[in-house]
Amino acid sequence: QVQFVESGGGLVQPGGSLRLSCAAPGFTLDYYAIGWFRQAPGREREGVSCIGSHDGSTYYADSVKGRFTISRDNARNTVWLEMNNLKPEDTAVYFCAANLMRSRVAGAPVLGEYAYWGQGTQVTVSS
């Protein structure tokens, strides 16, 4: 019954920016670390960024460090992913999910620890 909802994707030119939002009606996010993932056609789903529930811990994939920023507001029950200086290789469907095993982020996400995947939001970077 629990399903996350991703929004904010779209078509942008290289160097552009987007802000993705993650929400889950009827589900309280503040217990869990939240992760953003992406999947391009023909490729495996990969972890992009994660954030702990309260401690400020974060993770960023090497490919997005310095360009993406993850944040959350537990009062709004929402998690965001700010994406700047977008590149064509960022093109993918972006998903968010909750880590049911832990509330802190200590490294690259383990896919099997995450649940409540949404339908994703498409990000296309092209000129």
pLDDT tens digits, 54-91: 988 999 999 999 999 999 998 999 999 999 999 999 99
Predicted pLDDT of residue 26: 86
Confidence label for 25 from pLDDT (cuts 50, 70 and 90): confident
Task: Detail the DSSP E strand segments found in 14-57.
Answer: 18-23, 33-39, 46-51
Q: Stretch 92-103: mean pLDDT, rounded?
A: 95
> With 80 as the cut, is the pLDDT of residue 117 above it?
yes
Predicted pLDDT of residue 59: 97
Distance of alpha carbon 96 from the chain centroid: 5
> With 90 as the cut, is the pLDDT of residue 3 above it?
no
Predicted pLDDT of residue 1: 72
Residue 12: what are its φ and ψ, rounded to 5°? -135, 160
- Mean of per-residue pLDDT scores for the chain: 95
Query: What is the rounded CA–CA span in Å between residue 100 and residue 53?
Result: 11
Confidence label for 93 from pLDDT (cuts 50, 70 and 90): very high
Query: What is the rounded CA–CA span in Å between residue 67 and residue 50?
Result: 14
